[in-house]
Structure 1
Amino acid sequence: PIITDPVQIWTDMMAMPTIADKSSLYKRYDAQVQTNTVVLPGSDAAVTRIRGTHRALAMTTDSKGRYLYLDPQVGAAMSVAEAARNLVASGAEPLGITDCLNFGDPTKPEAFYELAEAAKGIIAATKAFNAPVISGNVSLYNETNGEAIYPTPMIGMVGLIEDLSTITTAAFKQADDLIYLVGETHGDFNGSELQKLQTGEVTGKLFDFDLEAEKQHQHFVLKAIREHLITAAHDLSDGGLLVALAEMGFDAQLGAQINVTLPTAWGFSETQGRFLLTVAPENQAAFEALHGPAQLIGRVQAAPEFEVTTVNQHFSASLQQLQTAFEEALPCHMNQKA
């Protein structure tokens, strides 16, 4: 992809309906029933305590409909993996899933193929993460004027946090914390938010997905969290690195300085199996002694600004500009007259 104005693209990405803030919807519901909620909606996973113990449960729902449209088997496995990443980023070990399989008319060969291939992907991923499917349902014949929805298996996953003190959220905690990127980044744009934004289409061969590398990255992140070395953790998903970076800054109104050996466009790549982590400076040596697949790319700063250096550009984006786009997009979409 060609990006001449990275700040404008970044702002537009934050306003994409699948990325934009959903609080205008979930705040309509009581998230604190029975007063067990520890982490409210808005982070990677919701967390509730288990009364009488030092444990907690983390829960998330995820789906990658566009990825499944391009490759139902790989896309389904990616959906399970993203749910697991969200739990791990919260300090939880995945336990099991429930799913809701939403597909078109199974009497049509293409819809039946999507359903069968998606099931294969879910099976492979749940075996990899040792998180069995314990319940679920199926919704078929989802069509409008003969055109089916994207194949959309919703993955609900639950995980266990052994110690309440290791609960981790996505928000930056303090200035000068170090920012690490876990996992390699490639030019993976087919089915991505950037492709949809720039072309209005979802096309091409879905990029490669290494389930074994995904497991290794998750194991490393969970180990670092359990050793109390991580101050914030966020999985990289829709929109890639730069979207995740902005989301981490919003709650605490903290910016960041990062320097990456990547082309600017790759800041929006959706390579799977990646995390952003922050580490307090005094824990840098202990964290790096774990010898995980993590690269130091920058630090949190008090100024509400994101300063980014790539191999081909240097640019700065205002936290307020990005957050305004993020928070106002969905209400604007909802209030538009037909």
Structure 2
Amino acid sequence: MTEQRSEAKTRLDTVGVAATDPDHQQPWADLGLKPDEYANIREILGRRPTSSELAMYSVMWSEHCSYKSSKVHLRQFGDNVTDEMRASLMVGIGENAGVVDIGDGYAVTFKVESHNHPSYVEPYQGAATGVGGIVRDILAMGARPVAVMDPLRFGPLDAPDTHRVLPGIVAGVGGYGNCLGLPNIGGEAVFDETYAGNPLVNALCVGVMRHEEIHLAKASGAGNQVILYGAKTGGDGIGGVSVLASETFESTGPAKRPSVQVGDPFQEKLLIECTLEIFAEDLVVGIQDLGGAGLSCATSELASAGDGGMHVWLDRVPLRDSTLAPEEILMSESQERMMAVVTPENVDRFLEICAKWDVDATVVGEVNDSGRLTIEWHGESVVDVPPRTVAHEGPVYHRPFARPSWQDALQADRAEDLPRPATGEELKQTLLRLVASPNLCDKSWITDQYDRYVQGNTVLAQPEDSGMVRVDEETNLGVAVSTDCNGRFAKLDPYAGAQLALAESFRNVSTTGARPLAVSDCLNFGSPEDPDVMWQFAEATRGLAEGCRALGVPVTGGNVSLYNQTGQTAILPTPVVAVLGVIDDVTRRTPSGFVAEGQQVYLLGATREELSGSEWAHVVHGHLGGTPPRVDLAAEKELGDILVNASRDGLVDAAHDLSDGGLAQALVESCLRHGIGARVWLPDDLDAFVALFSESAGRAIVAVPRSEEVRFTDMCAARGFPHARIGVTDGRGEDALLDVQDQFSVSLGELRAAWSATLPAALG
């Protein structure tokens, strides 16, 4: 061991060596840096970087960490925040996660991030460490994590690679979250051929804290100690997501398994409880989790956001692999690690708490007022950099973008012109085919692998429109969260597609009775070096920013995931939007399924002949073309107010949004949830097929008790909002019917058989 260290030391690329050996060849291109980026690093430092400095800049200037291709567009999110939106926003974009005030002294933090490429390379560990990473982001804000969600995208259900990645990804999400004791309360599982070879694994976490418990990532106070605690640092995840998420996969290329982190949820559980006890005793000045870019990120971001100076003794970092070189230690993305800044008088108590929870903790650095981040290895200086140049002043690209040459032809190819069913029997068969399709079928094969009710505060979970958890057991204050995106809509019109994703998530939260409050997003796109893709990104970002302003919900943070393509095939543009809402009393929430017979079924909102990008066009015709449904954000906001007020006043017993599959799918899901049938009559002014399968936005169905019908309709009429009684709940059990009068009848048993068989038949 001593000989190894001695040999490593003689080979050490120190700051002094770098200054006297300017022509030393360095593998900057292999680390993902462009020629001008490497030249910029040399200009910043006034010399060539050491190998350790090169490692830090390469991971921190990667697409995943620096947002170099997207930050010029992301500024719109801040620019579109109004004073009214700021009223509840306690921490916005720029920290580990956003924080919003939900009342009664409580704050909630939430964020959604991606772990796409690692989950393709190693499905179980990629997905598991995605969950672990987002949980630590929430923990670092000072909050106790209380729930997770998982928006997922896969290739075709019958594709061999889907059968490789899907079981492992689902097992990774469930295994890590279940071991942490966090309920998985929602998400999505969507299938499309563009995700073959590039699945999307987005993970969301929600945390709760009191206002005074918010913590930020900054290293302030000269003389304060920097403590690394949690798991030891290993060779797994060197470069990790920083490198994997910053390049395009080739259809035929080597697997990158060494780059995928390995998670230990039991270590993370200890880390969570240890950190929360440290917070309770107010022992930290600043804190940061170690995720993408590992120590490179934690040290540079803490120093950059604080007083600007920090010295680190890298040889003090506890290692699982003693042969790691300094640059490998700095790049390692080993999981379950945190870094805290602690005043000298609190260090002993901090270490005592860590020892109590069997969590390794080591003082590895000290804050100073030098304005530099300096790192030494066995007494030799290997890093001496201005920390802001690493963490916050990386490259900024104004990537060229232009409306694709094929966009007009795509939009001209309307699904409204496709052959459609005409008879009642054809409508019935279309319904049965759609409810059994991969995107609309029962997802319990996936969700049954997740613990949805651990901790005892889950109020709503899959397959409800939104997940909901109780925050305060005395007052029943709670929050609801939904994630949504229709990538087909975004392909047809990225601006409208992003707003439709926002509107659907906003609507899903409103149907539960929660008032939408804030947004987090995970923007999944192809290569930013493709002007077509950058146009999609620019349009979607613009649409989302302007949509959030119109709905009065600020973007609090999120994630950009680019280079999601295999070879030249980019994924559908997939701007996943998470909306969080607050509800004063979770006992008054509105479920999505019909709960009793004899209730009046009302359709809210206007239905138009809007079939392009629909599930019907996708499943029946394999078609994608036309323009997506019209967006009317004023109507969405009005609908949201109606749903929230109706829930609060006890006017509705069930509410379900209309989105994928239209009215037909919403009726099926509402009936199957609790085994309650329905008799439905379709509006006379609409073609029966359009009435059932149009995917017009801004719509919902509600079940209204007879005793509240007048009050409910008066409320809608007073607002001038379209509403029509279209049915009544009728019958109970598998023999009960969904009876679309003058068209067809189908038993709930037949519907359930079609709806529930698809995933088990495909996946076993």
Fold match, TM over 0.5? yes
2:456 to 20, 28, 35: 35
Q: Which amino acid aligns with 1:141?
A: Y
Cα offset, 1:33, TM superposition = 3.0
Q: Distance in 1 between matches of 2:532 and 2:655?
A: 39
Post-superposition offset of 1:163: 1.8
Cα shift at 1:251: 2.3
Is 1:22 matched with 2:436?
A: no
After TM superposition, the score normalised by the length of structure 2 is 0.43
Partner of 2:702: 277
Deviation at 1:69, TM superposition (A): 0.6
Once the two structures are superposed, the pairs formed by residues 208-219 of structure 1 within 5 Å of their partners are: 208-219=630-641
Give secondary structure in 2 for the equivalent of 1:110: helix
Aligned position for 1:90: 512
Q: In 2, Cα distance between the equivalents of 1:284 and 1:315?
A: 27
1:83, distance to aligned residue in structure 2 (A): 0.3
On the 8 A contact 2:629/2:697 being kept in 1, the answer is no
Stretch moving more, 264-273 or 49-58: 49-58
For residues 305 and 281 of structure 1, what CA distance do their matches in structure 2 show? 21
Which residue number in structure 2 is paired with residue 205 of structure 1?
Answer: 627
Contact 2:517 2:553 in 1 (8 A): yes
- Indicate which of 660, 668, 672 corresponds to 1:250: 672
Aligned-residue offset at 1:252: 1.7
Name the SS of the counterpart of 2:533 in structure 1. Answer: helix
**Which amino acid in the other structure matches residue 754 of structure 2?**
A
Aligned residue number for residue 70 of structure 1: 492
Q: Deviations over 1:157-188 (max 9, x none)?
A: 21101122320111111111000000111110
Quote the offset at 1:253 in angstroms.
Answer: 1.0
1:331 CA displacement: 2.2
Q: Select 2:470's aligned residue among 43, 49, 58.
A: 49
Q: Equivalents in 2 of 1:205, 1:93: separation in Å?
A: 30
Question: Residues of 2 paired with 1:273 and 1:246: CA distance?
Answer: 19
| CA drift at 1:128 | 1.9
Task: Give me the whole-angstrom Cα distance separating, in 2, the residues matched to 1:289 and 1:43.
Answer: 27
Structure 2 Cα separation of the partners of residues 240 and 329 of structure 1: 20
Identity of aligned residues (%): 36
Does residue 133 of structure 1 match 2:558?
Answer: no
Find 1:294's aligned residue among 709, 723, 734.
Answer: 723
Q: Aligned partners of 1:123 and 1:150: how far apart in 2?
A: 20
Does the CA contact (< 8 Å) of 2:662 and 2:695 recur in 1? yes
Aligned partners of 1:144 and 1:288: how far apart in 2? 52
Secondary structure, aligned partner of 1:85? helix
Deviates more, 1:50-59 or 1:85-94: 50-59
Equivalent residue number for residue 307 of structure 1: 739
- What's the TM-score, normalizing by structure 1? 0.95
2:571 alignment partner, one of 139, 142, 149 = 149
The higher relative CO (CA closer than 8 Å, separation ≥ 6) is in 1
Pairwise CA distance, 1:150: 0.1
Return the offset for 1:54: 2.3
Q: Deviations over 1:224-260 (max 9, x none)?
A: 1111100000000100001100100112211101111
Show CA shifts across 1:283-323 (max 9, x none): 111111212421111100015101113xxx52111211111
Q: Which residue matches 2:361? A: none
RMSD: 1.3
Cα distance in 1, alignment partners of residues 762 and 660 from structure 2 = 19
3-state DSSP of counterpart to 2:674: coil
Counterpart in the other structure of 1:2: 420
- The residue that corresponds to 2:434 in the other structure is 13
The CA distance in 1 between the partners of 2:604 and 2:641, in whole Å, is 11
1: distance between equivalents of 2:570 and 2:564?
6
- Name which of structure 1's ranges 14-23 and 237-246 shifts more when overlaid on structure 2: 14-23
Query: How far apart are 1:216 and its partner, in Å?
Result: 1.4
Amino acid at match of 2:582: L
SS of the aligned residue for 1:119 comes to helix
Larger Rg over CA atoms: 2
In the alignment, structure 1 segments of 5+ residues that lack a partner are none
Aligned to 2:119: none
Distance 1:206 1:98 in 2: 23
Task: Tell me the alpha carbon deviations over residues 28-54 of structure 1, each in whole angstroms, 9 at most, x when there is no partner.
Answer: 122223221111221001110012322
CA distance in 1, matches of 2:689, 2:513: 30
Q: Any idea what SS the aligned residue of 1:35 has?
A: coil
Q: How many residues are aligned here?
A: 332
2:604 matches 1:169: no
Which residue of the other structure, out of 731, 740, 750, is the alignment partner of 1:321? 750
Structure 1 counterpart of 2:701, which letter? L
Distance 1:221 1:252 in 2: 21
CA distance in 1, matches of 2:475, 2:446: 32
What is the alpha-carbon distance in structure 2 between the residues aligned to residue 123 and residue 208 of structure 1?
17
1:203 Cα deviation after fit: 0.8
Match of residue 194 from structure 1? 616
CA contact (8 A) 1:15 1:330 kept: no
d(CA) in 1 for partners of 2:570, 2:493: 15
Question: For each residue in 1:129-175, what CA deviation from the matched residue of structure 2 results, as whole angstroms up to 9, or x when unmatched?
Answer: 22111111111111123110000011122110112232011111111
Q: Distance in 1 between matches of 2:713 and 2:680?
A: 18
Contact 2:551 2:634 (C-alpha < 8 Å) held by counterparts: no
Alpha carbons 2:551, 2:633 under 8 Å: kept: no
